[in-house]
């Protein structure tokens, strides 16, 4: 019997295994992965497909050899089919078709998420792809190498859709992106989403928004994507990037309940309601640090942290996951977009009286060559002055990720908007200004909220 059995070989699962071995090097830990690629950076797949990352092997956070060097047993190409909590056993099928049962003392479910499949016809056509796992990327790469497609349609204007629009444009393909919402990148306010849309247009990507896809048809080697308003877009390949949903079938086989976003119900210790079973990563609900409730928010950074928490607690610890702020950043061609915390519309949904201050500033001193516009939308609570969130769009050399991280750190510590101005931030003319743009945005917010008495 493996005392510690971990189902899932990606971020959360491997982080948990490593934490267990850090605390107790003698612990018997087995990590079971459904494929042959443990601990690979799924976030790096678009850059492999663009050709910017030449060798897919470099996407491994750690190689299988590095993982086993820690004394962790790896079971690759083994898929867990069902969990029997009473017998403390997992039914497993290996890639050669053999079934067996593996016992456990403590179990972690880290099955991740799976691509959401929209309810229209034609997803099974050759040349239509999803992108979630390494095998998905090999299928796309193989198709591009063999068929040399010239025209691509991407369905979905979120992070993966935008990164793949970037990747396929980099490969010299003609790209059309379809998004059901009125604007791309709906995790940002429409004013900033429009800037990303403008960048796509400027680089030759056709963007169609506000239309649902009805079906995908194929005639010979040509695919056609049919939109609800009557538009039909011809393509040589189609990538469906319509979001992700938690992979919970295995947890449900053990009678484990679901919570926010129909993800696995866990507490902040990453424990399920079933004895000696924990869960972490993209398959579970996530504690939101500002909302102080669980949401579904699958992020790689979160999965790493949750796995580490789960691993410590599987050894009897009392570690709590401190919560996510939804901090995200994405490169789209020559632009970078980022966000953290709450947008004004999200704050209003939970009863907060929020105010958002827009600011456009130079990313560094304008007299130094290369200054570009940095767009910031800073959100705070009108009554208390508490910082609630920020969104940024700038050039890819505009230190956007640094600045969203400043706000994320302030949010983590519950700071007020005005306290951003007190931060001792770095300055040199090629990189910033004496008042960083984040601080300028804070001043703009206070000017708009003039007269408020903060608690």
Q: What is the pLDDT of residue 231?
A: 86
Task: Give exposure, 364-400, as e/b (b: 16+ Cβ within 10 Å).
Answer: beeeeeebeebbbbbbbbeebbbbbbbbbbbbeebbb
Q: What is the pLDDT of residue 453?
A: 55
Answer yes or no: is pLDDT of 333 > 60.
yes
Domains and CATH numbers, the chain: 2-112+245-314 (3.50.50.60), 117-242 (3.50.50.60), 334-448 (3.30.390.30)
Determine the distance from the C-alpha atom of residue 410 to the mean position of all C-alpha atoms in its chain, rounded to a whole number: 21
Q: What is the pLDDT of residue 455?
A: 47
Distance set, CA 455 to CA 216, 381, 412 (Å): 56, 11, 19
Q: What is the pLDDT of residue 298?
A: 96
Over residues 131-136, mean pLDDT? 96
Q: Which ranges of 118-183 would DSSP assign to H, the alpha helix?
A: 134-147, 159-170
The string of DSSP codes covering 75-114 is: ETTEEEEEEETTTTEEEEEETTS-EEEEEEEEEEE---EE
> What pLDDT, in 10s, does the model give residues 397-409?
899 999 999 999 9
Within 13 A of 444's CA, how many CA atoms are on the CB side?
Answer: 19
Nearest to 314 by CA among 1, 3, 2: 3
Q: pTM for this one?
A: 0.94
Q: What is the pLDDT of residue 317?
A: 96
The string of DSSP codes covering 217-252 is: EEETTEEEEEETTS-EEEESEEEE---EEE--HHHH
Q: Quick one: tokens of 351?
A: 């009863």
Q: 416 with 388: CB under 8 angstroms?
A: no
Q: What is the pLDDT of residue 282?
A: 98
> What pLDDT, in 10s, does the model give residues 207-263?
999 999 999 999 998 999 999 888 899 999 999 999 999 999 999 999 999 999 999
Q: Position of tokens 């005392």?
A: 3
Burial of 33 by CB count in 10 Å (0-12 exposed, 13-18 middle, 19+ buried)? buried
Over residues 89-110, mean pLDDT? 95
């Amino acid at each position: 019997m493996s005392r510690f059995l971990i189902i899932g070989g990606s971020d959360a699962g491997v982080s948990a295994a490593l934490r267990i071995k850090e605390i107790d090097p003698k612990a018997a830990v087995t990590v079971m992965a459904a494929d042959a690629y443990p601990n690979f950076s799924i976030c790096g797949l678009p850059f492999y497909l663009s050709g910017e990352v030449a060798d897919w092997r470099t996407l491994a956070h750690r190689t299988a050899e590095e993982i086993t060097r820690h004394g962790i047993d790896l079971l690759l190409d083994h898929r867990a089919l069902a969990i029997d909590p009473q017998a403390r056993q997992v039914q497993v099928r290996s890639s050669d078709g053999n079934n067996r049962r593996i016992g456990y003392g403590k179990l972690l479910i880290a099955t991740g998420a799976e691509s959401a499949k929209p309810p229209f016809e034609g997803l099974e056509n050759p040349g239509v792809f999803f992108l979630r796992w390494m095998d998905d990327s090999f299928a796309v790469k193989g198709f591009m190498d063999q068929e040399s497609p010239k025209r691509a349609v991407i369905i979905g204007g979120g992070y993966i859709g935008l990164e793949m629009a970037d990747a396929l444009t980099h490969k010299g393909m003609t790209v059309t992106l379809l998004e059901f919402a009125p604007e791309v990148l709906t995790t940002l306010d429409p004013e900033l989403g429009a800037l990303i849309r403008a960048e796509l247009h400027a680089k030759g990507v056709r963007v169609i928004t506000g239309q649902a896809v009805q079906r995908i048809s194929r005639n010979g080697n040509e695919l056609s994507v049919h939109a609800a308003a009557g538009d039909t877009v011809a393509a040589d390949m189609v990538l469906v990037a319509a979001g992700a949903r938690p992979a919970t079938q295995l947890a449900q086989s053990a009678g484990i309940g679901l919570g926010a976003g129909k993800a696995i119900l866990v507490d902040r210790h990453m424990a399920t309601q079933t004895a000696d079973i924990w869960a972490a990563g993209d398959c579970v609900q996530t504690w939101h640090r500002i909302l102080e409730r669980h949401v579904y928010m699958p992020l790689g950074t979160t999965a790493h942290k949750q796995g580490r928490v789960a691993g410590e607690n599987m050894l009897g610890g009392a570690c709590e996951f401190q919560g996510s702020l939804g901090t995200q950043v994405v490169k789209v061609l020559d632009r970078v977009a980022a966000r953290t915390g709450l947008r004004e519309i999200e704050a209003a949904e939970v009863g907060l009286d929020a105010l958002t201050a827009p600011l456009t500033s130079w990313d560094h001193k304008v007299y130094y060559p290369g200054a570009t516009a940095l767009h910031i939308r800073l959100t705070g609570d009108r009554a208390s002055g508490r910082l609630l969130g920020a969104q940024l769009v700038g050039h890819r050399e505009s230190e956007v990720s640094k600045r969203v991280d400043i706000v994320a750190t302030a949010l983590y510590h519950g700071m007020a908007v005005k306290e951003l101005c007190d931060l001792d931030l770095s300055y040199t003319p090629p990189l910033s200004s004496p008042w960083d743009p984040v601080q300028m945005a804070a001043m703009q917010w206070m000017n708009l909220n003039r007269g408020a008495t903060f608690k």
